[in-house]
Every structure is written in structure tokens, then in C-alpha cells.
């Protein structure tokens, strides 16, 4: 499944920009657009370092460590830790009192950003349509190959190394919050759910797929986070939501084929059945990826982005 992070005003890099606020036909079909264009002059406030040989972006509240903070693990979409917008998103949480650790969960292999733009004309010629279709298929194949390289068996061990280091490096923040909090966008959303699940130890360590049936008597590894919040997840199945064991806030997009209504609805029923505390809000009229920091012209998207951030922030602070 593709991970369309930002479907509106989503150029493939900070230097490129779509000619319209509408997603290209190629992006409607497949692909992972890059960052939205950051505000002019916007700069991230944190630093990049290494935990257990994993690159991480760390951003802290201005008054830390003089004032206590809580530890927040931020898991990105396909554009990864080095994305300017993802760093600015992390900074927003830091400005609200969280010590934020954002790992490079892709090991330096962020999603490809091959550009495939539609013709400007409303009625492109047959030749232009063929060219677009070929480009779309090529891009879809490239994204699928990228996703195949970043499975739970590859990503979970990276996150395990980071959380182990975090508990040592920032023991005060972990203790102050009573555990690690987590927020995930797009690709990262599923991993918040997995970290919040009671997986068997082999699955949690990436030795087997979480989807594989666990043998009776397997050692379990409880949830690695205290509470989580996710926005417009991708590759999420009903089982991922059923496995969630800690409080979770879910930001979703109406009619989002990357997080379909039926998966969301079945997951909500499972959370209710397990009596797992949760909150779910569906935002209409916004693109998949809208909750990630970016320079949008559409006031409705800007307003919804602010609302989603407030929703997730209040949930984390309340837990």
C-alpha cells in the first residue's frame, strides 16, 4: 500500500511545488509525495545525534531540564527524520513541554520521491495520458519496493534500540511521564499501535511478523508505551487496532483509501470490546497527511491541521 503523506500542496522536495493545490493524477493512484513547502525562514530547533547507532532528531522544551518534561517518541511518515517539516512538527510538541525523540526508522532509506505530474490541460492528449499512466505504474512499483524493504521485522528492532537508549539517556523524562508516549503519522502510525500492543517477544524484537500466529506458551512482551496518538495511518489492519492495549487517540481523514472506513470501524469496535480508552475523530474535506506541518493555502486545511494537533496534544497531556 502506498503512503500518500501530503496530497495537497505536496512537492517532491522543498525546492519543488505543484502548479495547483489539487493532487496530481499520479499521486491519486500511488506514491509518497515529499514535504509540503515550509514557511519561508522556518528552521528546526533540535539536533541530530545517534542512539545505539540509530540517527535520531532530539528537540527539547526551552526550560528542560530545569522544569520536568515527558518523553515523546515521534514516528514519521515516509519522508523520514531528515524532513524539515517532520522536524518542525517535533518542535511543536517540544514547545508544549515534551522532550521529543524522532528516530530514523528507515535506516537512511527514506521513501523515494520520484516526480510524476499530470499535464496542465484539463483534457490531456492520448499520448500524455499514456505517458502519465506509465509514470504512475513506475512510481507505484518504486514505492511498493520501498515498502517491502521496511517491514515490522526491520523497523521494530530499530525502535527497540531507540527506546532502550531513551530509557537510559532521558530516565528523568520517562519517569516523570510514567513511561514513553508516542505519536505517529502515516507510516509511523502503525508502529505506535504495535508498540502499544502486547506482542509475543519474538514479534516485538522483529524475529517474526506480527501477523504470524503465535505459538502457545510464547513469552509475551507488554506494551512499550504508556499512551499513543496517530494521524492518517497507512498499512493499518484490523488486527493492529485489536492488539492495542494502551489509550490511543486516532485522527483520520474522511474517505481515505489508505485507512479505509471499514478498517477504522472494525478497529473501533475492537477497542470498545477490550475497553481500551480511545478517541477517534474523522476530518472531512482534507487530504491524507494534512496533520503534518506544512505550508497550505487552503484555510480549511490549516484550521483542521491546528485542530488535529490540539486533539493529539490534549490526549497525550491527559494521559
From residue 125, alpha-carbon distances to 24, 96, 197 in Å are 16, 51, 51
Beta bridge mates, 278: 248
Residue 148 pLDDT: 85
| Beta pairing class for 54-59 and 70-75 | unpaired
pTM of this prediction? 0.81
CB count in 10 Å sphere of residue 136: 20
Tens digit of each residue's pLDDT (9 = 90 or more) over 215-241: 555 656 779 999 999 999 999 999 999
**51 falls within a domain:** yes
The whole-number average pLDDT for the span 18-44 is 47
**Residue 4 in domain:** no
243 φ, ψ (degrees, to nearest 5): -80, -15
Within a domain: residue 109?
yes
In this predicted structure, the answer to whether residue 19 has a pLDDT above a threshold of 90 is no
Give me the pLDDT at residue 134, please.
Answer: 52
Q: What is the CATH number of the domain that holds 295?
A: 3.40.50.1820
Q: Please indicate, yes or no, if residue 296 is contained in any of the structural domains.
A: yes
pLDDT in tens, 64-102: 999 999 999 999 999 999 999 999 999 999 999 999 999
Residue-level pLDDT at 112: 78
Considering its fold, how many domains does the chain have in total?
A: 1
Longest dimension (CA), the chain: 65
The sign one gets for the Cα dihedral 216, 221, 225, 231 is negative
Provide the residue range defining the domain that includes 176: 25-318
Identify whether 129 is part of a domain: yes
- Whether 3 maps to a domain, the answer reads no
pLDDT in tens, 114-169: 443 444 445 566 666 554 555 555 556 677 888 889 889 899 999 999 999 999 99
Residue 16 has pLDDT above 80, yes or no: no
Residue 192 resides in a domain: yes
Amino acid at each position: 500500500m502506498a503512503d500518500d503523506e501530503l496530497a495537497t500542496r505536496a512537492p517532491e522536495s522543498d525546492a519543488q511545488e505543484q502548479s495547483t493545490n489539487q493532487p496530481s493524477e499520479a499521486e491519486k493512484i500511488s506514491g509518497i509525495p515529499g514535504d509540503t513547502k515550509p514557511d519561508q525562514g522556518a528552521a528546526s530547533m533540535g539536533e541530530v545525534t545517534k542512539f545505539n547507532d540509530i540517527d535520531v532528531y532530539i528537540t527539547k522544551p526551552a526550560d528542560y531540564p530545569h522544569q520536568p518534561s515527558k518523553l515523546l517518541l515521534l514516528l514519521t511518515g515516509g519522508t523520514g527524520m531528515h524532513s524539515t517539516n517532520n522536524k518542525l512538527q517535533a518542535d511543536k510538541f517540544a514547545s508544549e513541554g515534551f522532550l521529543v525523540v524522532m528516530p530514523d526508522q528507515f535506516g537512511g532509506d527514506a521513501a523515494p520521491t520520484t516526480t510524476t505530474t499530470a499535464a496542465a490541460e484539463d483534457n490531456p492528449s492520448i499520448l500524455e495520458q499514456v505517458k502519465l499512466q506509465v509514470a504512475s505504474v513506475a512510481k507505484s512499483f518504486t514505492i511498493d519496493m520501498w515498502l517491502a524493504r521496511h517491514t515490522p521485522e526491520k523497523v521494530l528492532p530499530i525502535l527497540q534500540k531507540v527506546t532502550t537508549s531513551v530509557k537510559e539517556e532521558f530516565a528523568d523524562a520517562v519517569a516523570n511521564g510514567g513511561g514513553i508516549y508516542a505519536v505517529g503519522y502515516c507510516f509511523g502510525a502503525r508502529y505506535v499501535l504495535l508498540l502499544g500492543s502486547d506482542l509475543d517477544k519474538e514479534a516485538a524484537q522483529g524475529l517474526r511478523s506480527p501477523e504470524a500466529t503465535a505459538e502457545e506458551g510464547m513469552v509475551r512482551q507488554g506494551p512499550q508505551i504508556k499512551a499513543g496518538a496517530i494521524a492518517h495511518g497507512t498499512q493499518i489492519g484490523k488486527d493492529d487496532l485489536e492488539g492495542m492495549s494502551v489509550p490511543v487517540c486516532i485522527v483520520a481523514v474522511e474517505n481515505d483509501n489508505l485507512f479505509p472506513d471499514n478498517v477504522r470501524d472494525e478497529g473501533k469496535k475492537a477497542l470498545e470490546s477490550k475497553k481500551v480508552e480511545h478517541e477517534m475523530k474523522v476530518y472531512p474535506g482534507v487530504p491524507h497527511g494534512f496533520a503534518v506541518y506544512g505550508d497550505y493555502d487552503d484555510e480549511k486545511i490549516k484550521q483542521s491541521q491546528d485542530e488535529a494537533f490540539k486533539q493529539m496534544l490534549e490526549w497525550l497531556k491527559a494521559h
